[in-house]
Structures are given as C-alpha cells and as structure tokens.
C-alpha cells in the first residue's frame, strides 16, 4: 500500500526522498554538489517545517554555517580528498546532543540561552566522516523522562512536532524531530538517542529505519543524559544501508555498510517473539502478513519464547531515576554557561516558569528522582539486578539459548501514530512490548517499516545479540528486500491535514 503523495514543497521532493547512499553516489559522480543539496534542503526546511499550511516543527535550528561546511567539503572533493562514503551528505542531530553553537536544550527552557561550546564526540565523528551538520531537531522534553502524562514530540523550547503522514498525529518519542525530519525529506539522515524506545518508536511511527546500537558502542559524552546503563545515540534513515553508513560514521568504522547485502533470504533464521505482539489487531495482522512474506522469501522462522506479560515499570523506573539524578547533576555542573547546575535547579526553574514549562503536564519523575539517593539509594542495586534478570535471563538470553542459530528476534514495533493530545498526554494504541528487554539489557535493536494501517506506517523490530550490529544490519537489509519497503514512493508521506472535530 502506498500513501497518496501531497508534498508541500514539490520543487525539492525528488531530492528530499533520495536515500543517503544514493545521494552519496550522486555527489561522488559529480551529478550534484554538497552546496546545491544543502541549499535545497534549507529551502525545504523553511517551506515545510516553519509557519504556513504545513508546520511540521521538526527542526529547532539550522546551523548558520551549513553552506560554508558544504563549500569546504566540495573543495576537498575537488582536490581529491574524500573523507568517507558520506562526504558532503547532510545530517540533522537531536537537540540533546551538543553541536557547537547550537541550542542543546534537551527541549527545556532551563537550558535556553546556553548554547553548546563544543561538539559532542559523535558530532566530531560525523564531521570527520565528511557529513554536513545541517541543524538540530526537536524532541520530547528531557527525552520523555519528565512525566507519565507527557506528550511525545512536545518541548517547551521547540513546541510540538507533527507526524508528516498526518500532522495531528504523534511523531513518537523522544527522537520525534529526527524521525519526522527524515520522513518529511528534510535530511537523508538524522541522529537520535534512545533510553527505552526513543529511536524505535519514531522510526516506526514515521515509516523509516532506525537503530539503537549496543550500549557502549559509541560515546555518549556531550549528550544530555538520563541513564548510563541504557542511553545510546543512533542513526535514523530511509534505508538499512543508510543507517549502516550512519553507524559507521558514529563509530569511526567501515564494517557496518560493508555487511549490508551479504545475506540472502535463505540464510536468515528469525525467532518470532509472538509474546510481544502489539495488542493492536490491525498492526498484528500486518506483522503476521509480513512474517508470511519473509517465510515465502526463503527465510526460516521459528517461535521464540518471551515473556508475554509486560515487565512491571517500577524497577526500571527506579534505575532510570537514580541514574538520572547522578548523571544529569554531573553533566549540568560541567556544562559551560550560566544557568541550572543540578536536577534540583531544573525542578525549581520549572516551578518558577510554570506557565511555560508546566502548562500541559507536570514534572513528577524529576521530583521523584531527587528522592532516590542516586545509585547509592536503597532501591537502585536491587532494581538494577531485577531488571537484568528479567530482561536477559528470562527473555533475551533464554530465547537465543533455546535456538542458538537464530540471527535475531522479530516483533512488531508500535501500533500506528495516535493523535497528539497535550491535555491528556500520549494515548498509545498498542505496541512497544518488545522495547523494554533490549533497552534494559543494552542490546541492539533495528526498526524498519513493514506496512500501513489506515494510511499510517507501522514497523517491526529486529533484536540482536550484543555487538552484533553488522549481522543485524545484514539481516535487516534482507528483511527490507523481502518486504519491498524500498519501492519507489513507499515512504513518501501524505502530509494529511489535521482532522476536524
């Protein structure tokens, strides 16, 4: 099924929906230049993302030197100096990652006016790989760790990000702007971060590909933290190859893109985690139809036993809040500029600016974090051990040990995007059941499109063993090929206007 195209800036549509890998080939062949691409995408951002009939709200700020970056990279190419396969390709970065001179607010007014004084190491790696840092994207404020009633895609600093498939629908969280921007063709690649679902959710809801790598694979220094045991940045793109190229740039390697295309369907063995169905009938029907197509393509599919009952949130929340107070305190104390220096300062700031910050929902998670005592608190060690026991021993390792030949577990990601509701918060239709276990364990997760429900995209996830990214991406590309999700026009959003009533 292909959604009807109603592109709000048709002059840039062909470029906008060109994969990063294809764009890289055009740059290498001289068919276009980085300057031409950057200027066109800046025009598109101004037309699609800003005020007007279409106001996506995905980009918080564009880099004022984006064209200058592109000019330097074009000059390097002309001189025979090519930094890597993505030389001259633009990328957007989530605004909880420090990009020199950019806001780096994590969506909060408490960090406004305190721009980044450096590039985070992953941003430095992107530049070293030859990418143009085009700008920074909106996110769910504090990466969705503020309140259980929060609205994904909203921040006091950046406003509400819409979903390009239907502008009144959620773009998912917390890498909302990164997911929406790639889907809307504002950049071929974006960087998000994930603690529990924050890359896989916006990837699924926006009909794109996203990867959360194994925790520890790439550095997190210079990223506004939640949890050292679960936080990890990762790439979002329009294809598995694009994401593999993005991961190579983040990790400073060339191994991941080289693995893509190395697996034929008949060599793939997947464990179907049917205990993690979404609970949304239409989404689960698409998933079951997808697994049938994978089987018909020659893949081997077996049932893998996972815990059908979702994990109780309390132990994971205990861990996240304890790590949050320790890690955010350390980050804020070290960040240059005037302003909040601790989580307690953030809580006080929000109370003092309640009209802007607390208009729609509260900050109970931040307040609870202050009472945990951090990692030294009485609940932390026991909660972390309980989380790992459930995630690894009862689910992931048990599933892989039961069938050591499986390449990955497969499950639905999320049900279709729900309507954004600032008054009542997120109203999930279903899904996310496959997210907690790999998030807690720190194992890699690849999300990719599998189809549509009522014109809205839905995705599946592939979960691999720790540090199996090369194999996971190779399997993901075979799945992508079997499902046909790279067909022309498949991932061009409809930009449906908000429904009335």
442, 440, 319, 330: which is closest to 374 by C-alpha?
A: 319
For residues 278 and 282, what is the distance between their CA atoms, to the nearest angstrom? 9
108, 155, 174, 204: the catalytic one is 174
What separation in angstroms does the CA of 455 have from each of 34, 204, 482, 483?
34, 13, 21, 17
For residues 287 and 459, what is the distance between their CA atoms, to the nearest angstrom? 8
DSSP state of 98: -
Helix or strand holding residue 386 (H, E): helix 380-388
Confirm if 99 and 61 have CB atoms less than 8 A apart: no
Is 175 considered catalytic here? no
Using DSSP, state whether 336 is helix, strand or coil: coil
For residues 478 and 298, what is the distance between their CA atoms, to the nearest angstrom? 11
Confirm if 264 and 294 have CB atoms less than 8 A apart: no
CA dihedral angle for residue 10, residue 15, residue 20, residue 22, rounded to 10 degrees: 130
In angstroms and rounded to an integer, the radius of gyration of the C-alpha atoms of the chain is 21
150, 178, 198, 420: the catalytic one is 198
Is 33 considered catalytic here? no
Pairing of strands 269-272, 408-412: parallel
13, 135, 116, 144: which is closest to 489 by C-alpha?
A: 13
Using DSSP, state whether 432 is helix, strand or coil: coil
Beta bridge mates, 212: 445
Is 174 considered catalytic here? yes
34, 94, 304, 420: the catalytic one is 94
For residues 404 and 422, what is the distance between their CA atoms, to the nearest angstrom? 45
What separation in angstroms does the CA of 392 have from each of 170, 263, 385?
31, 27, 10
Using DSSP, state whether 434 is helix, strand or coil: coil
Beta bridge mates, 272: 303, 410
What separation in angstroms does the CA of 395 have from each of 9, 275, 373, 408?
46, 10, 30, 13
Query: Which residues form the catalytic set?
Result: 94, 174, 198
């Amino acid at each position: 099924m292909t959604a009807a195209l109603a592109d709000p800036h048709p002059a840039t549509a062909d470029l906008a929906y060109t994969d990063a890998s294809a764009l890289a080939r055009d740059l290498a062949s001289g068919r276009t230049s980085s300057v031409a691409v950057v200027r066109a995408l800046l025009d598109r951002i101004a037309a699609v993302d800003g005020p007007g009939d279409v106001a996506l709200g995905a980009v918080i700020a564009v880099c004022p030197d984006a064209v200058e970056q592109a000019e330097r990279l074009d000059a390097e190419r002309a001189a025979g100096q090519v930094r890597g396969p993505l030389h001259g390709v633009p990328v957007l970065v989530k605004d909880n990652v420090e990009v020199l001179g950019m806001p780096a607010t994590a969506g909060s007014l408490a960090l406004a006016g305190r721009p980044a004084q450096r590039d985070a190491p992953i941003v430095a790696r992107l530049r070293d790989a030859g990418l143009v840092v085009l700008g920074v994207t909106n996110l769910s404020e504090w990466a969705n760790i503020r309140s259980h009633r929060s609205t994904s895609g909203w921040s006091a600093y950046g406003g509400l990000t819409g979903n390009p498939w239907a502008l009144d629908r959620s773009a998912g969280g917390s890498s909302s702007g990164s997911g929406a921007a790639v889907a809307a063709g504002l950049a071929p690649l974006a960087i998000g971060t994930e603690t529990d679902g924050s890359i896989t959710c916006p990837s699924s809801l926006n009909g794109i590909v996203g990867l959360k790598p194994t925790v520890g694979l790439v550095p997190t220094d210079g990223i506004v933290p939640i949890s050292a045991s679960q936080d990890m940045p990762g790439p979002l793109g329009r294809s598995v190859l694009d994401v593999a190229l993005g991961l190579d740039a983040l990790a400073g390697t060339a191994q991941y893109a080289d693995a893509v295309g190395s697996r034929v369907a008949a060599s793939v063995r997947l464990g179907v985690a049917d205990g993690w169905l979404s609970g949304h009938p239409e989404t689960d029907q698409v998933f079951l139809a997808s697994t049938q197509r994978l089987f018909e393509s020659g893949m081997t599919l077996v049932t893998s036993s996972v815990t059908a009952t979702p994990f109780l949130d309390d132990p994971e929340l205990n861990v996240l809040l304890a790590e949050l107070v320790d890690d955010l305190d350390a980050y804020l104390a070290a960040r240059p500029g005037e302003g909040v220096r601790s989580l307690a300062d953030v809580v006080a700031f929000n109370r003092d600016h309640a009209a802007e910050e607390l208009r729609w929902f509260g900050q109970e998670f931040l307040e609870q974090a202050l009472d945990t005592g951090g990692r030294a608190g009485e609940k932390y060690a026991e909660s972390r051990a309980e989380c790992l026991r459930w995630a690894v021993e009862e689910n992931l390792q048990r599933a892989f040990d039961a069938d050591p030949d499986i390449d990955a577990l497969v499950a639905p990601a999320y049900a279709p995007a729900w309507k954004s509701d600032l008054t009542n918060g997120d109203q999930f239709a279903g899904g996310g059941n496959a997210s907690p276990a790999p998030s807690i364990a720190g194992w890699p997760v690849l999300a990719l499109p599998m189809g549509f429900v009522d014109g809205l995209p839905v995705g599946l996830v592939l979960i691999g063993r720790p540090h199996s990214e090369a194999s996971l991406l190779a399997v993901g590309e075979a799945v992508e090929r079997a499902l046909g999700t790279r067909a022309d026009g498949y991932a061009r959003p409809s930009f449906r206007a908000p429904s009335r009533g």
